[in-house]
Amino acid sequence: MLSSDDSDFRFSTGLQNHDEKKSLIKEHSLALSDSKLPRPSNLPPFSLDGPDKNVGKSPRKIITKSPSRARMMPGMSRIPSSNSPKGWSFDDFEHEYNAQQHSPDLRPLSTPRTPALSPRSSFSNLPLMSGMQHPMVQEAEDLLHKSLIYFRGKPIGTIAAIQDGTEEALNYNQVFVRDFVPSALAFLMKGEPEIVRNFLMKTLRLQAWEKRIDCFTLGEGVMPASFKVLHDPVRNTDTMIADFGESAIGRVAPVDSGFWWIILLRAYGRATGDHTLADHPDIQRGIILILQLCLADGFDTFPTLLCADGCCMIDRRMGIYGYPIEIQALFYHALRCAKQMLKPEGEGKDFLERVDKRLYALTFHMRNYFWLDHSSLNNIYRYKTEEYSETAVNKFNVIPDSIPDWVMDFMPRKGGYFIGNVSPARMDFRWFAIGNCMAIISSLATTEQANMIMDLIEARWDELVGEMPMKATYPALEGHEWRLITGCDPKNTRWSYHNGGSWPVISWMLTAAAIKVGRPHVAKKAVDLLEEVLGKDGWPEYYDGKSGQFIGKQARKNQTWSVTGYLVAKMLLEDPSHLGLISLEEDKKAAKPQLTRSVSWNGFMNL
């Protein structure tokens, strides 16, 4: 274990004296004033870490004497990486950013300014939800309130599941980045942006840790899967522990966290009208570090992102290694959000160009090669094999015999979807709900494709939704396939958990997607199903069974993202204008699908 001194954590400014640090702060003030944000004088010492008593002392002393800085995991270096441009400390950023927000002159007019949540603040007093009469709404609000996690008195996230004392906490007592997304959306929709801003800034600090697993150092831009806050009642200090994959089952790093962070950053800007956060150099740097990871040159022949199994919501072995649809949809979404927020200056300019190029190729690839409908399935069924790629129709040399029987029955004449994975000689035909819903929300799917996905959901409602919206994957892996693909995972047995289990949280994405394609009745049907059982059943994490009719075998109760999945779906239905927080319009200039056999290769060459 680390000693208490070892556990101290502080950004290394790399600066030797206070004057040097001061001159950088001045430089930053100038940068900010360039963007029409004069630095206010007499900044109040207000930041997430509390007043910095060490201001004015040598940075070196700050590094060694600060007793309650966030703690690191064993095996992690205590020297943070150079996330802050020019070695500027993140504390300075928080300090300056928060000070700006406290200056009345600098508040965007459109920003709803509600007081920061205090441990005593109550959601039930807030006006936005008061119109919702269903008793589950009140219960959900109370649970969301109970799930809040504080760091030095400020709310910074929501716990994955509220413990009832009967179960081992495992890692459900942590704030998961992906789980916090629907909580964040609920707060933004309610006009409570503070917690989201705190979360975005705090996770950016965590990104700057040097992340090491055994002797291997992870990429600078990796965002944590989760973090927790430890409170020491004797010293009255809070410390933070983050997991970048080293504690996760199978040691897999989350690829989705950074993407969700970017998507949330945009949502925060949309909800508050406050773009000073996204514009800040440290946040800009955070975006660039994430992009650096996923736009890096390698041996790739595809614009999709190559990932390990378990790197997203499905965080254990389920045969999604390769190019899983969930990650590709989030990748696309995050690239488009980054494009809106990156400033065309310095590194940002270069990255904007790289983002554009990647988006163009990714859009083409996904809309053509991942897309499956009745006619493309028929084409694949009749594929020839062993063609050389320049002239090939069957570009990935997929063997028609590998088409599973179920997909031939499952595919309606009207409808289609993005399949789970495409790589050489491998098409994973399984349905993945998050990837498809996010493809609609982000407009990775064309309007026509989005409508076809919704056609399929409606045509296959019994299979994909049944009694609980909605199955994460379909169909379930069974028997030999389950043994081989999951490694005999006892949690992912057929029609359970990630393997055909039903997750209430997906309801918010289904609702957003349904509203976007102009079918609120689909969203309403899903919310009605939730209201029949979710509250009575104690807000389980997931349901099991072919129709989602049983509470999941090992499902946690009072799972926060089940609660917020319901709340966000409900709020979206009440006020569809909230969709703008998360949804992107179709980019009409993007590569159009070329689905006919004869033009596919030439079409690509001519793009």
Residue ranges that bind ligand GLC, judged by CB under 6 A:
160, 176, 178-179, 313, 315
Closest approach of Cβ 256 to ligand GLC, in Å?
A: 9
Beta bridge partners of 216: 213
Closest approach of Cβ 195 to ligand GLC, in Å?
A: 18
Closest approach of Cβ 498 to ligand GLC, in Å?
A: 6
Decide: 523 and 531 in contact? Cβ < 8 Å: no
Instruction: Count other C-beta atoms under 10 Å from residue 18's C-beta.
Output: 13
Nearest of 51, 65, 73 to residue 152 by alpha carbon? 51
The residue among 93 and 495 lying less far from ligand GLC, judged by its C-beta, is 495
Closest approach of Cβ 261 to ligand GLC, in Å?
A: 14
- SS3 (DSSP) at 105: helix
The residue among 262 and 434 lying less far from ligand GLC, judged by its C-beta, is 434
Which pair of tokens denotes residue 496?
A: 């359970």
Closest approach of Cβ 75 to ligand GLC, in Å?
A: 22
Which pair of tokens denotes residue 471?
A: 């199955």
79 exposed, middle or buried (CB, 10 Å; 0-12, 13-18, 19+)? middle
Residues 6+ apart with CB under 8 A from 89: 10, 11, 13, 21, 59
Decide: 84 and 90 in contact? Cβ < 8 Å: yes
Closest approach of Cβ 225 to ligand GLC, in Å?
A: 7
Closest approach of Cβ 207 to ligand GLC, in Å?
A: 18
Nearest of 582, 597, 595, 541 to residue 565 by alpha carbon? 541
Distance CA 124, CA 139 (A): 9
DSSP 462-525: HHHTTTSS-BSEES---HHHHHHHHSS-SSS-TTBTTBB-B-TTHHHHHHHHHHHTT-HHHHHH
The residue among 91 and 326 lying less far from ligand GLC, judged by its C-beta, is 326
Closest approach of Cβ 247 to ligand GLC, in Å?
A: 12
Closest approach of Cβ 343 to ligand GLC, in Å?
A: 32
Closest approach of Cβ 351 to ligand GLC, in Å?
A: 28
User: DSSP code of 9?
Assistant: -
Closest approach of Cβ 72 to ligand GLC, in Å?
A: 22
Distances (CA, A) of 539 to 101, 136, 169: 36, 10, 17
The residue among 78 and 178 lying less far from ligand GLC, judged by its C-beta, is 178
- SS3 (DSSP) at 402: helix
User: DSSP code of 432?
Assistant: E
The residue among 291 and 505 lying less far from ligand GLC, judged by its C-beta, is 505
Compute φ and ψ for 304, nearest 5 degrees. Answer: -75, 165
Closest approach of Cβ 249 to ligand GLC, in Å?
A: 8
Nearest of 587, 604, 580 to residue 356 by alpha carbon? 587
The residue among 99 and 175 lying less far from ligand GLC, judged by its C-beta, is 175
Distance CA 290, CA 209 (A): 14
Decide: 476 and 500 in contact? Cβ < 8 Å: yes
The residue among 369 and 542 lying less far from ligand GLC, judged by its C-beta, is 542
Buried b (16+ CB within 10 A) or exposed e, 337-376: bbbebbbeeeebeebbeebeebbbbbbbbbbbbbbbbeeb
Nearest of 93, 91, 90, 87 to residue 21 by alpha carbon? 87
Closest approach of Cβ 307 to ligand GLC, in Å?
A: 14
Closest approach of Cβ 176 to ligand GLC, in Å?
A: 4
The residue among 246 and 458 lying less far from ligand GLC, judged by its C-beta, is 246
Decide: 326 and 432 in contact? Cβ < 8 Å: yes
Which pair of tokens denotes residue 286?
A: 């955070």
Three-state SS sequence of 555-598 = CCCCEHHHHHHHHHHHHHHHCHHHHHHCCCCCCCCCCCCCCCCC
The residue among 320 and 419 lying less far from ligand GLC, judged by its C-beta, is 320
Closest approach of Cβ 187 to ligand GLC, in Å?
A: 18
Nearest of 128, 144, 126 to residue 136 by alpha carbon? 144
Nearest of 304, 251, 113 to residue 194 by alpha carbon? 113
Compute φ and ψ for 416, nearest 5 degrees. Answer: 180, 175
